């Protein structure tokens, strides 16, 4: 039996994992993971090495047997189905080509095996080759192609088929950065234009944010967060998610709420709207307070004798409020048009972005004044659970308090 689109339950996701678990001996690789991949969507499993990404893909492909839970394709369980009967294509990192075959022969391989009519094969290969911009090298042997061209042919080889779903396991990780950026945007374009359903695993958050409709953040065999890419950045589920996504990295600092003000890294300011109804929660947290997540782009460097204004004017007049604070510069890293300045403020380290012009005036070891660009863009976490406690712009929450 083969699961095909023909007998798909209407509206059902192409792939669905229900409470999926995998044990290797006494080690739990995957712990009751549930998610779904809707038709024509690009879902990315993001996580560090060892999180369970490849295990998840292998279970879905049928290359390994799950220890618990169920896998559904188009609403029907595929438990017990052989990999070849699941109508899934898996694409790996090390995409190999046959050295003695031309680009065309390499790409046509999977179709030739199925004994499709010649014209159909030609048409299909040409169409995919056009999408991947490799029409001009179809008659050449792999050894005469550049690394990028070989990788495109290899991807093309997988993409000439039209299975219900593609599982991609770090397909671009062995490529140089410029080529990786180029190919990932082509993968995304191809997926959308052809209406493919993609589930891709990657340890690289930039890749996940760039291509995903939905990101599943996997950590130690559990899904920590499943959200659109911009939400992963704006509303990370917990401290670790915030630290994992974003470069330069977010600073997570100790903060306290007392006498109506948030105190953190020498700053004191009124409670951001996103934290207003978490105030009671923070007071309960006692003198240790809570954790404040400050992204580098939300901190502004203030250099004297410049026209920049230090205050946003909103804390003016509030007794005890401090718009600016001072820290000692411990590191400067250039990113090109911007630099990341790290300052040490008490026991805390804070990162901020500055322009080339500002950077030219900053030295390691000096004291630097800084302010928050916008306190409404802060993120906050419970000190004990480390979970996000802010309210979203739509009024909802990442976690209920």
Partner 1 sequence: MSIPKLEVAGLTKEYRDGAVIAVDNISFTVESGETLALLGPSGCGKSTTLNMIVGLEQPSSGDIRIDGRSVVAVPAGRRDVGLVFQDYAVFTTMSVRDNLAFGLKVRKTDKAVIRREVYKTAEFLGLTDCLDVRAGRLSGSEQQRVAIGRTLVTKPALLLLDEPLSNLEASARPVVRRELRRLQQELRLSIIYVTHDQTEALSLADRIAIMHHGKIIQAEETLRIMQYPGHVQVARFLGSPPMNILRGRLADAEGGVQFTHAAFSVLFPACALPGGVRERGPDKQYALGFRAEDIILVPPEQGLWKGEILSVEIRGSDAVVNLNSHGSLLQCVVEHKRKAAPSAGLPATRNAGAPDIRPEPEKEGLPATALRAAGANPPASDVFSLRTSTLVGLALAPENIVLFDGDSNLRLESAFVPKQL
Contacts of 267 (CB under 8 A, 6+ apart): 322, 323, 324, 325, 371, 372
The strand pairing partners of 397, in sequence order, are 391
Beta-carbon-side half-sphere exposure of residue 53 (alpha carbons within 13 Å): 27
Q: Determine, following the binding rule CB under 8 A, whether residue 211 of this chain makes contact with partner 1.
A: yes
C-beta closer to partner 1: residue 64 or 312: 312
Q: Which of 1, 112, 356, 384 binds partner 1 (CB under 8 A)?
A: 356
The strand pairing partners of 225, in sequence order, are 217
C-beta closer to partner 1: residue 230 or 288: 230
C-beta closer to partner 1: residue 50 or 68: 50
* Cα distance between residue 184 and residue 168, in whole Å: 12
Q: Spell out, one character per residue from 219 to 238, where the chain touches partner 1: x when CB under 8 A holds, - when not.
A: ---------xxxx-xxx---
Beta-carbon-side half-sphere exposure of residue 183 (alpha carbons within 13 Å): 22
Q: Determine, following the binding rule CB under 8 A, whether residue 359 of this chain makes contact with partner 1.
A: yes
R_g (Cα) of the chain, nearest Å = 25
Q: Which of 77, 306, 311, 334 binds partner 1 (CB under 8 A)?
A: 334
Q: Which of 210, 220, 324, 329 binds partner 1 (CB under 8 A)?
A: 210
Q: Which of 40, 126, 204, 213 binds partner 1 (CB under 8 A)?
A: 204
Q: Min. distance of Cβ 265 from partner 1 in angstroms?
A: 20
Helix (H) or strand (E) holding 130: helix 118-131
* Cα distance between residue 81 and residue 84, in whole Å: 8
Q: Between the CA of residue 18 and those of 31, 69, 70, 113, what are the distances in Å? A: 11, 6, 5, 34
Q: Min. distance of Cβ 8 from partner 1 in angstroms?
A: 25
DSSP-derived pairing of the beta strands 214-219 and 198-202: unpaired
C-beta closer to partner 1: residue 32 or 377: 377
Q: Determine, following the binding rule CB under 8 A, whether residue 239 of this chain makes contact with partner 1.
A: no
Q: Determine, following the binding rule CB under 8 A, whether residue 286 of this chain makes contact with partner 1.
A: no
C-beta closer to partner 1: residue 104 or 235: 235
Q: Determine, following the binding rule CB under 8 A, whether residue 245 of this chain makes contact with partner 1.
A: yes
Q: Spell out, one character per residue from 266 to 285, where the chain touches partner 1: x when CB under 8 A holds, - when not.
A: ------xxx-xx--------
- Would you say how long the chain is, in residues? 401
SS3 per-residue string spanning 99-160: CCCCHHHHHHHHHHHCCCCHHHHHHHHHHHHHHCCCHHHCCCCHHHCCHHHHHHHHHHHHHC
Answer left, alpha or beta for residue 133, where phi above 0 means left and psi between -120 and 50 means alpha. Answer: left
Contact, 351 vs 300, CB < 8 A? Answer: no
Greatest CA span in the chain, whole angstroms?
Answer: 81
Contact, 332 vs 365, CB < 8 A? Answer: no
Q: Spell out, one character per residue from 82 to 111, where the chain touches partner 1: x when CB under 8 A holds, - when not.
A: ------------------------------
C-beta closer to partner 1: residue 121 or 237: 237
**CA nearest to 371, candidates 315, 298, 305, 307:** 298
Q: Spell out, one character per residue from 25 to 54, where the chain touches partner 1: x when CB under 8 A holds, - when not.
A: -----------------------xx-----
C-beta closer to partner 1: residue 209 or 253: 209
C-beta closer to partner 1: residue 63 or 220: 220
DSSP-derived pairing of the beta strands 165-169 and 198-202: parallel
Q: Min. distance of Cβ 92 from partner 1 in angstroms?
A: 19
The interface region with partner 1, picked from 85-93, 177-185, 256-264, 317-325 by CB under 8 A, is 177-185
Contact, 317 vs 273, CB < 8 A? Answer: no
- Span 295-314, contacts to partner 1 by CB under 8 A: 295, 297, 312-314
Contact, 21 vs 32, CB < 8 A? Answer: yes
C-beta closer to partner 1: residue 162 or 330: 330
**CA nearest to 149, candidates 204, 186, 192, 201:** 186
Q: Which of 185, 306, 366, 385 binds partner 1 (CB under 8 A)?
A: 185
Question: Interface residues with partner 1 (CB under 8 A)?
Answer: 48-49, 176-178, 181, 185, 188-189, 192, 203-206, 209-211, 228-231, 233-235, 245-249, 272-274, 276-277, 295, 297, 312-314, 331-337, 356, 359-360, 364, 374, 376-377, 390-395
């Amino acid at each position: 039996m083969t699961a095909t689109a023909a007998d798909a339950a209407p509206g059902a996701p192409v792939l669905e994992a229900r409470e999926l678990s995998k044990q290797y001996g006494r080690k739990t690789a995957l712990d009751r993971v549930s998610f779904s991949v809707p038709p024509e969507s690009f879902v990315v499993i993001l996580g560090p090495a060892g999180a369970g990404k490849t295990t998840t893909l292998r279970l879905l492909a049928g290359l390994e047997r799950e220890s618990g839970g169920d896998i559904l394709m188009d609403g029907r369980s595929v438990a017990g189905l052989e990999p070849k009967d699941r109508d899934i294509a898996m694409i790996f990192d090390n995409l190999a080509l046959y050295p003695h075959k031309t680009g065309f022969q390499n790409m046509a391989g999977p179709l030739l095996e199925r004994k499709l009519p010649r014209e159909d094969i030609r048409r299909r290969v040409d169409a995919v080759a056009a999408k991947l911009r490799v029409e001009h090298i179809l008659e050449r042997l792999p050894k005469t192609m550049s690394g990028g061209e070989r990788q495109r042919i290899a991807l093309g080889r997988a993409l000439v088929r039209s299975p219900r779903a593609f599982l991609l396991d770090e397909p671009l990780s062995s490529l140089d950065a410029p080529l990786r950026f180029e190919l990932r945007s082509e993968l995304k374009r191809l997926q959308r234009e052809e209406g493919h359903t993609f589930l891709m695993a990657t340890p690289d958050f930039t890749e996940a944010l760039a291509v995903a409709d939905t990101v599943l953040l996997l950590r130690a065999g559990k899904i920590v967060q499943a959200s659109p890419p911009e939400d992963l950045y704006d509303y990370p589920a917990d401290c670790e998610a915030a630290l994992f996504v974003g470069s330069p990295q977010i600073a997570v600092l100790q903060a306290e709420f007392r006498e109506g003000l948030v105190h953190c890294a020498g700053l004191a300011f009124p409670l951001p709207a996103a934290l207003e109804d978490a105030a009671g929660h923070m007071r309960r947290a006692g003198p240790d307070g809570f954790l404040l997540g400050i992204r580098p782009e939300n901190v502004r460097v203030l250099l004297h004798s410049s026209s920049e204004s230090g205050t946003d004017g909103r804390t003016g007049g509030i007794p005890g409020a401090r718009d600016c604070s001072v820290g000692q510069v411990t590191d400067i890293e250039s990113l090109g048009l911007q630099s990341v300045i790290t300052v040490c403020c008490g026991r805390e380290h804070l990162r901020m972005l500055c322009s080339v012009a500002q950077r030219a005036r900053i030295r390691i070891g000096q004291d630097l004044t800084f302010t928050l660009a916008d306190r409404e863009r802060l993120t906050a976490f419970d000190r004990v659970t480390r979970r996000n406690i802010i309210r979203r712009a739509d009024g909802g929450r990442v976690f209920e308090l």
